[in-house]
Amino acid sequence: MTTRTMELSAAIIPNKPMQPFWAVIDEIQSEAPSVSTFWLRFLDPGLQAGFRFQPGQFNMLLVPGVGESAISISSSAEDNKRVGHTIRFVGNVTTAISRLKVGDVLGVRGPFGTSWPIEKHVGQDIMIAAGGIGLPPLRTVIYHIINHRSDYGRVVVLYGARTPQDLQFTREYKEWEKAGIEVVVTVDRADDKWEGPVGVVPLLFYRLRMDPRKTVIFSCGPEIMLRFVVFEALARRISSDRIYISMERNMKCGQGFCGHCQMGPYFVCKDGPVFTYAQLEPYFNVEDI
């Protein structure tokens, strides 16, 4: 299990772990039905300038009086002017967030969790397999790759959503392709205006040729999709310590204190959310673990 070092520029006070820092909503971008990116800027300019996170980490966003929600950071780790959080509106807290306007304030604690180890795999081919709301935490990796493109070999983004209307960040795909990233997008179903593939992400995987010795997989999405991506990856002889998946569980404290996010012996907030399949293997296929 990786240990994180807490940097002073994080929005965390080590001896007051539940105290938030205030950030103002700078901009709200609609991405898809019920999904928007909230761009937050810390009220303390020093904190904003110094705030550092790794791709794959998340913040706990607080609406005072309503509660907190764990939201992955979806902006570039090299942007220190503001922090982007792509949120799907599904419950009490996220619905409350959806009603906020530019200029309103949220409490932020973070960043928490393990990250996609992109710097460890310099020189390798990177396969990014995302589904639905799983794309935002991987977008941080895509930005890192674009900023360091020559550090990596072949880079493919496989992305699946329910219908063409649910695809996120569509205006960015051209830029990613211009940076030398293959972008393959599929939907579960479409009408005849959609000219792209119709199918599921594991199927896209199945169709790709890849060299298992050079390839690393980063995947995020519904657990059932992860199951099949892992299945396809293992069938391609990619070793389980080169398959990275991001897990999701109920989170309250974000720091391994409250117990909610446990999956087997792991605290998903602290030992994850990014795990290698090698770490998860004894527990992944236990139903209702």
Which of residues 132 and 272 has its CB atom nearest to another protein in the complex?
Answer: 132
Q: Is residue 199 within the footprint of another protein (CB under 8 A)?
A: yes
Applying CB under 8 A, among 98, 179, 252, 281 the residue interacting with another protein is 252
- When asked if residue 212 is in the footprint of another protein (CB under 8 A), the reply is no
Our finding on whether 192 is near another protein (CB under 8 A) is yes
Residue placing its CB nearer to another protein in the complex, 91 or 212: 91
CB 150 within 8 Å of CB 96: no
Question: What residue type is assigned to position 69 of the chain?
Answer: S
Residue 118's contacts (CB-CB under 8 Å, 6 or more residues apart) are 55, 126, 141, 144, 145, 218
Distance (Å, rounded) from C-alpha 215 to C-alpha 276? 14
Helix (H, G, I), strand (E, B) or coil at 83: strand
Whether residue 100 contacts residue 87, with contact meaning beta carbons closer than 8 Å, is answered with no
Instruction: Report the residue from 14, 45, 46, 123 that binds another protein according to the rule CB under 8 A.
Output: 14
The answer to whether 274 and 248 are in contact (CB under 8 A) is no
The nearest distance, CB 110 to another protein, in angstroms, is 13
> If binding is defined by CB under 8 A, does position 180 make contact with another protein?
no
Contact between 245 and another protein (CB under 8 A)? no
166 lies in the binding site for another protein (CB under 8 A): yes
Identify which range of 64-72, 74-82, 174-182, 234-242 contacts another protein by CB under 8 A. 64-72
Site residue total, another protein (CB under 8 A): 76
Nearer to another protein, 25 or 181 (CB): 25
- Cβ(262)–Cβ(273) below 8 Å: no
Instruction: Answer positive or negative: Cα dihedral of 266, 270, 275, 279.
Output: negative
Q: Which C-beta is closer to another protein: that of 76 or that of 255?
A: 255
Phi then psi dihedrals of residue 119, to 5 deg: -75, -20
Show contacts with another protein in window 112-131 (CB under 8 A): 131
Q: Which is nearer to another protein, 152 or 159 (CB)?
A: 159
Tokens coding 219: 């995947």
Which residue type sits at 179? A
42 binds another protein (CB under 8 A): no
Q: Which range in 49-57, 146-154, 238-246, 258-266 contacts another protein by CB under 8 A?
A: 258-266
Q: Is 50 exposed, middle or buried (0-12, 13-18, 19+ CB in 10 A)?
A: middle
User: In the range 213-242, which residues lie near another protein by CB under 8 A?
Assistant: 221-222, 224-225, 228
